[in-house]
Amino acid sequence: MSTVYSKEKSGSDLKGGSNQKAGSDLRIEYQKFISRKMLFLLILILGIIGLAGYAATRGSADISVTDVYATILAKFFPGHFQTTWFSDTIVWGLRLHRILLAIVGGIGLAVAGAVMQGILKNPLASPFTLGISSAAGFGAALAIIMGAGFVGGEWLIIGNAFVFTLLASAAVYGLAKYKGITPETMILAGIAIMYLFQAMTSFLQYVGHAEQVQEVVFWMMGSLGRSSWEKVWMVTGVIAVCFPYLLLKSWDINAMGTGDETAKSLGVNVERTRVVSMMLVSLITAAVICFTGTIGFIGLVSPHITRMVIGGDHRFLLPASALVGAMLLLGADTLARTILAPVILPVGIMTAFLGVPFFVYLFMRRKKEFW
């Protein structure tokens, strides 16, 4: 974060260097500009905390709000709060890791989308339009259909999905490298890979047993119902490792937005940034969707929603999209598991129901083009 700040400072120095008076005016305006974005981030963080706090109290088990918080706090201050075995199991064993997976999963998918849209300069780029999710689906289908009959094979499915996701991004990179890495070739390569993996999954489903096909469908259906603490830690770990680098590179991504030539003249190693960022976001996407299945939409739309509110500066766009993604996914999942309780709706339905109207609202309100 400190590096970002120093870059920000040098940026403002650059802008305000010529005239002292105009410079200080500009600096004040810039500060205002920045503080607006900071405020947005703050609101999002508070919103997520509030939503998580609300979500933790919702569920079929009749546990009162005070009991829920006592149970949560008892973990941190043992001896000070009374809790029961039942509420401990429900809150810690069922609700909290699901809430956290929604938050980190939303962060991961939204960051992946924001970075892909940034480095490829294309508003339609997302983990799903670039073939990454269809690769995960294929990996899972392969494990399910070819490794039929295995038990406790959940990790085999997850591992396979993960490996194929990375293979897909390597293939996208390989194809693009062969033809020279421009955003267009990368997107074309991604779309080609997506079709290939979809076809291969369809083929597997064709040869597979009806019930295996059903298992593939079930796996691919986005859901947070498979969450557990260990999965939360794994996703968090991957994001914690990858996100700082992406944040460091946000200035470079900004520069790349003005065109590869301009970015190069500013000293940005365009190809390396594009490749490394692409690899990191693939890793993040893989880590998320191998546990949740296909949750589309978040990666595509969270960056757009954020861009409409605070603009396209990736130093803010990345963390803010991450938080918007977290909020969308958490909100959708909370709604999905409470609206028709005890029935749990597939979360993908809810993300679209929640996100699309909001997206359209922002879209209609915006007078000028945002992209």
Partner 1 sequence: MYKIQREGFDDRIWGIRMKIIFGFSLFLCIFYLLGQAYAYQDVSVPGDANGDKIVSADELSAAENDFKDGKISEQALESIRIIQSSYPRRINDSTGKEITFYKPVERIAVLTTEDYEVLRTLNSTDKVVAAGKYVVQSREQGCGDLYIDGKNLVNIGSPTSTVDWEALIKTKPDLVITYMSSPKQADLDQNLKDTNITVIRLDSGNISQYLDIVNKMGYLLDRTGEAETYSRFFEEKLGKYLDAASSISVSDRPKVYLEADFGGGQTYYTCGSGHAHNALLTAAGGNNVFSDLEGFKQVDPESVAMKNPDVILRYKYLKDSPGIDKDLSDTSALQALRDEMLGRAELNKTPAVANKKVYIFTWDCTKGGGRFFLGMGYLGKWLQPEIFKDYSPREAYQEYLDQFQRTKVDVVNKGVFVYPEA
Scan residues 254-293 and list those touching partner 1 (CB under 8 A): 293
What does residue 313 show for φ and ψ, rounded to 5 degrees?
-75, 110
Q: Does 156 bind partner 1 (CB under 8 A)?
A: no
Q: Which stretch binds partner 1 (CB under 8 A): 18-26, 146-154, 184-192, 245-253?
A: 146-154
Site string for partner 1, 21-60 (x = CB under 8 A): --------------------------------------xx
Task: Rank residues 94 and 352 by Cβ distance to partner 1 and give the closer one.
Answer: 94
Please provide the DSSP assignment of 308-327 as one string.
HHH-S-HHHHHHHHHHHHHH
Burial class (CB in 10 A: 0-12, 13-18, 19+), 8: middle
| Residue 266 CB, nearest approach to partner 1 (Å) | 46
Candidates 26, 34, 175, 213; binder of partner 1 (CB under 8 A) is 213
**Assigned token pair, 57:** 């109290």
Candidates 206, 367, 368, 369; binder of partner 1 (CB under 8 A) is 206
Task: Rank residues 149 and 267 by Cβ distance to partner 1 and give the closer one.
Answer: 149
Q: Which stretch binds partner 1 (CB under 8 A): 29-37, 207-215, 252-260, 266-274?
A: 207-215
Scan residues 312-371 and list those touching partner 1 (CB under 8 A): 337, 341-344, 346
The closest alpha carbon to 252, from 315, 210, 193, belongs to 315
Q: Does 160 bind partner 1 (CB under 8 A)?
A: no
Give the HSE-up count for residue 188: Cα atoms under 13 Å, Cβ half-sphere: 11
Q: Does 77 bind partner 1 (CB under 8 A)?
A: no
Task: Rank residues 97 and 304 by Cβ distance to partner 1 and give the closer one.
Answer: 97
| Residue 86 CB, nearest approach to partner 1 (Å) | 7
Could you give the CA distance from residue 303 to residue 321 in angstroms, rounded to a whole number? 5
Q: How many residues are recorded in the chain? A: 371
**Assigned token pair, 97:** 């890791």
3-state secondary structure string, 179-234?
Answer: HCCCHHHHHHHHHHHHHHHHHHHHHHHHHCCHHHHHHHHHHHECCCCCCCHHHHHH
DSSP annotation of 91: I
The closest alpha carbon to 181, from 250, 241, 263, 297, belongs to 263
Q: Does 215 bind partner 1 (CB under 8 A)?
A: yes
Task: Rank residues 5 and 218 by Cβ distance to partner 1 and give the closer one.
Answer: 218
Candidates 32, 210, 365, 369; binder of partner 1 (CB under 8 A) is 210
Please provide the DSSP assignment of 45-66 as one string.
HHHHHHHHHHHTT-SSS---HH
- Point out which residues bind partner 1 (CB under 8 A): 59-62, 85-86, 89-90, 93-94, 140, 144, 148-149, 151-152, 154, 157-158, 205-206, 209-221, 223, 225-226, 293, 337, 341-344, 346
